[in-house]
Copies of this chain bind each other. A is one copy, B any other.
Amino acid sequence: MLLSIIVIGDELLIGQVTDTNSGWIARNINPIGWTVKSVRVVADDAVEIKNAIDEAFKETDLVLTTGGLGPTKDDITKETLRQIFGGEMIYDKATEANVLEVVNKRHLKINPLTAAQAYVPSSCRVIQNKVGTAPIMWFEKGEKVLVSMPGVPFETETMMSTEIIPQLIAHFNAHDYIEHRTFVVIDYSESVLAMKLDDFETHIPDYIKLAYLPKPGLIRLRLTGVHKDKSILEQNIENLSAELTSILGKSIISYQDLPLSKILGNELERRNFTISTAESCTGGYIAHQITQNAGCSAYFKGSIVCYSNDVKMNLLGVESTTLEKDGAVSENTVIEMVKGVSKLINTDCAIAISGIAGPDGGSETKPVGTVWISVKCKNIINTSVFHFPGDRMRVIDRATMEAEKMSLKLILNS
């Protein structure tokens, strides 16, 4: 089954907010065999919203909208939906009770604008929003269904998982099965990988697609199949997966679509190893990525963000002579950092980084983007220098990715 998403909000069209709702919906509606046909982003404007809904209903029977439901004056979605689906605005007691409950939980007081959330078109069925004050509205017109949801990602995600997806399945009763299989691949650029897989791609059946999803430093390959017969689909996806595995071997570092930090964490946990980081230019970003994964306390003990040379010397034991002779961005400094942090925090493995993220601080011999990385696992230390292009955040991001890859490779070979 196909559906369309309409994302409503002026703030998206001037780029002050990035839409993450449509991606979340896609990721979570895919496993039930449904496909997002298109996403439209439109302004808080009645005509725009109406046109987008018209266009979307031409393509699909199901339209999900997010946003445009805030209590302030720039939000006009609710009244527009009333005009499309008919009825009049009514004060809904159940919605009022829900708004009160949500507001109480937050230890806030109700005010006229929050209270106004209880007005809904009589043509909709309300799904009570357990985590926010904007009611979720389910509209039907013949075969067509539109569900209007809030713009706050946490609210939409919570309510879709618990209420909306189950109700949609009950309503539409999907018949097609869908299977995804993701492979996280390193060591290849996109075009070299495509050549390597040229033969493989020629004998993939019509109902299965291979997609390349490159990220800096790695490529995710995704097989997606849609078929009425679940066992045929599963068998074929299984065969193709086995074939990919034999072609790519160790370059596949994960068979799940996991972030690199989680793949690294899983390998650490499997070996009962602990890790720490000493971060200069990445400023704690590696530690942040590792600690985003629940359960990381099993292997992650701590980090030293050593932005100043004082911290490098006093805490990590980097020699002042090394800093004077070689500089903070050098092979010897990161080696002393990686030894220092693994000793200080007492871990089996460690990552140390020092580089020039820019835009300032570069020189002729060490331009912006120069990053030294050292990784340690037990008694083995690997150290490399990189030259990353791009702005500050891009350098931080790439350095983090490469450090995680270096650490992962060392651990996989240990």
Contacts and interface: CB of A to CB of B under 8 A. Distances in A.
A389 B102 CA distance: 12
A393 B292 CA distance: 6
Contacts of A35: 13-14
Contacts of A15: 22-28, 30, 36
Interface string A251-289: 000000100000000000000000001010111111110
B13 A37 contact: yes
A330 to B, nearest CB: 17
Interface string A33-73: 00111111111000010001001000000000000001111
How many of these chains are in the complex? 2
Interface residues of A, number: 105
Contact of A211 (B10, B114, B192, B346): B10
In the complex, which of the residues A24, A192, A220 has the most CB atoms of chain B within 10 Å of its own CB atom? A192
B302 A302 contact: no
Contacts of A394: 154
A278 to B, nearest CB: 10
Interface stretch (A105-113, A138-146, A233-241, A402-410): A105-113
Most chain B C-beta atoms within 10 Å of own C-beta, residue among A41, A182, A391: A41
Q: Which of A13, A180, A297, A396 has the most CB of B within 10 A?
A: A13
B41 A39 contact: yes
Contacts of A73: 194, 201, 210
A210 B27 contact: no
Interface in A3-31: 10-20, 22-28, 30
A340 to B, nearest CB: 12
Sort A-B residue pairs by CB-CB distance and give the 8 closest, nearest first.
Answer: A283-B291, A284-B284, A284-B287, A15-B26, A15-B27, A15-B23, A39-B41, A303-B305
Given A14-B35, A283-B287, A284-B285, 10 more contacts: A13-B26, A16-B27, A18-B20, A22-B41, A41-B41, A111-B192, A113-B191, A305-B305, A310-B346, A315-B344
Interface of A: 10-20, 22-28, 30, 35-43, 48, 52, 55, 70-74, 108, 111-114, 131, 154, 180, 182, 189-192, 194-195, 201, 209-214, 220, 222, 224, 257, 277, 279, 281-288, 290-292, 294-297, 300-308, 310-311, 315, 344-346, 357-360, 389-394, 396
